[in-house]
A = this chain, B = another copy of it.
Amino acid sequence: MDTMLPTALHDELSTLLGDGWLTDEAARRRHGEDDSRRWALPDAVAQPRTREDVVAIVRACRAHRVPIVARGAGTGTTGAAVPTQGGVVVSFARMNRIVEVRAADRCAVVEPGVLNGELQQALMPHGLFWPPDPSSAEVCSIGGNLATNAGGPRAVKYGTARDNVLGLVAVTGAGELIRCGGPYTKDSTGYDLTHLLVGSEGTLALIVEATLKLSPRPIAQAGLRAFYRDAGSAAAAVSRLMNQPATPAMLEFMDRRSLALLRHNGSDVPEAGAMLLVEAEGSHDTLPDVLAALGAAAEGEGLLSLDVAVDGAARDRLWAARRALSPALRTIAPGKINEDVVVPVSRIPDLVAGVEALADEFDLTIVAFGHAGNGNLHVNLMYHPDDAAQTARAHAALPRLFALVLSLDGTLSGEHGIGLSKRDFMADAFDAATLDAMRAVKAAFDPDGILNPGKVLPPPTA
């Protein structure tokens, strides 16, 4: 045995889980990191196959006051899945069944280890999809999507993970199995534990089954590309686009530096202050009118040019340009701090101006793009890790970015969550009474504090 766990706990869980109980260092190492580039070594990895396994794991760990860190596919960006206090990582890789697709009820019942991309494939024959579309969709798990309240471009029309779950079965930190919600779309029956658990990053309960709200696949799609003189003109267009009834299916913003980066990497993009990509959905009959409505809303003060890409290839090029941005960032600098801040739509120009001012003040390249319809921009602070001074400047600029966002009535995270990386900024985002209410909720679900300790909520001061 290659672990620091109490022998009784090790023996109990080893007997329960058989080859689903891993204590070798290689396995522990593999299960100790996420896409935040943080890592820590857990004392063991548990791979339950059933909800009863999960109940037994939590009860056993609770008896020994051993921390439990839930793990999906490890694609999170905030360190939420990193076992910084050791203990047992519970990987849901083996709880990966699509239990039932209830097409007539527009919902699917899944275990948390199902990958988002697998689910989408399984739903295709039913003409349905599950809206959350993080950029990691092919390889991230539904459990992780729920734990972080993941989003993506489609959230502007369809909402995030929280808006697309109807019910959960979960195991609390007290080792109790709870069931909330179900295969129905309207519910005023008791407290809404379902939506509370979504986004709680494994700190309140471990999700062992989810009933997901599905949407019908659109029949036809088309895209618009609009260039603006400046971010202010683009943001005004975002408000106009969101205030007319043909809600865009995606509405993405790219700032001046994003466009320069695309040009630098060979994309056919003119010089402009900002670009919007707008996706329209409809039937073959209605799509032209939806596009016309979106085009009319995109027009206004500061518009430089507007292209409509109705056919597949041109539309694909539009979205390829958007997808190319994240990898293209690496050509600026190998280090990046990628935040997913949110501001009210009307404050996007202030956010962009503030980010430009921070770039000047800290002598950094900062690139901003993202989900404009939700005011959810990815602000990327670029740096060379080998350049200690630049690295220090990037990290010094980060608190200023959050302060800027909060001064604009915004918030820290729109889709990545808090984890470790934003935990210590929570006290800036919430007053003491609200943080205390969150701590009381934590204690209600996890009385001994064994579930993902040290994440989301900062330690109380004093």
Interface residues of A (CB under 8 A from B): 102-107, 126-128, 148-151, 155, 160, 162-163, 172, 176-180, 182-193, 195-196, 198-200, 204, 215-219, 236, 239, 242-247, 281-283, 285-286, 289-290, 292-293, 340, 342-346, 371, 373-376, 409-418, 422, 426, 429-431, 433-434, 436-438, 440-445, 456-457
Enumerate chain B residues within 8 angstroms of A107, measured Cβ to Cβ. Answer: 344
Enumerate chain B residues within 8 angstroms of A430, measured Cβ to Cβ. Answer: 179-180, 190
A199 to B192 alpha-carbon distance, docked (Å)? 7
Q: Is the CB of A190 within 8 A of B437?
A: no
- Residue of B191, B376, B433, B436 touching A186 (CB-CB under 8 A): B376
Enumerate chain B residues within 8 angstroms of A239, measured Cβ to Cβ. Answer: 103-106
Q: Is the CB of B285 within 8 A of A289?
A: yes
**16 contacts across the A-B interface (CB closer than 8 A):** A105-B344, A106-B345, A149-B187, A151-B188, A176-B433, A178-B437, A179-B431, A184-B376, A187-B342, A190-B426, A191-B204, A195-B196, A216-B245, A219-B245, A283-B289, A440-B445
* Residue of A128, A185, A193, A218 contacting most chain B CB atoms (<10 Å): A185
Given contacts A104-B239, A438-B191, A445-B440, contact A183 B433 (CB under 8 A): no
Q: Which chain B residue lies CB-closest to A187?
A: B411
Given contacts A196-B196, A283-B289, A285-B289, contact A344 B440 (CB under 8 A): no
Distance of A117 from chain B, by nearest CB (Å): 21
Given contacts A188-B414, A245-B217, A285-B289, contact A434 B180 (CB under 8 A): yes
- Residue of B186, B292, B426 touching A160 (CB-CB under 8 A): B186
Enumerate chain B residues within 8 angstroms of A285, measured Cβ to Cβ. Answer: 286, 289, 292
Enumerate chain B residues within 8 angstroms of A292, measured Cβ to Cβ. Answer: 285
Q: Is the CB of B192 within 8 A of A188?
A: no
Enumerate chain B residues within 8 angstroms of A180, measured Cβ to Cβ. Answer: 430, 434
| Top 7 A-B pairs, shortest CB-CB distance | A440-B444, A186-B414, A104-B346, A285-B289, A176-B433, A186-B374, A104-B239
Distance of A318 from chain B, by nearest CB (Å): 21
* Residue of A184, A186, A426 contacting most chain B CB atoms (<10 Å): A186
Given contacts A433-B178, A440-B444, contact A343 B409 (CB under 8 A): no
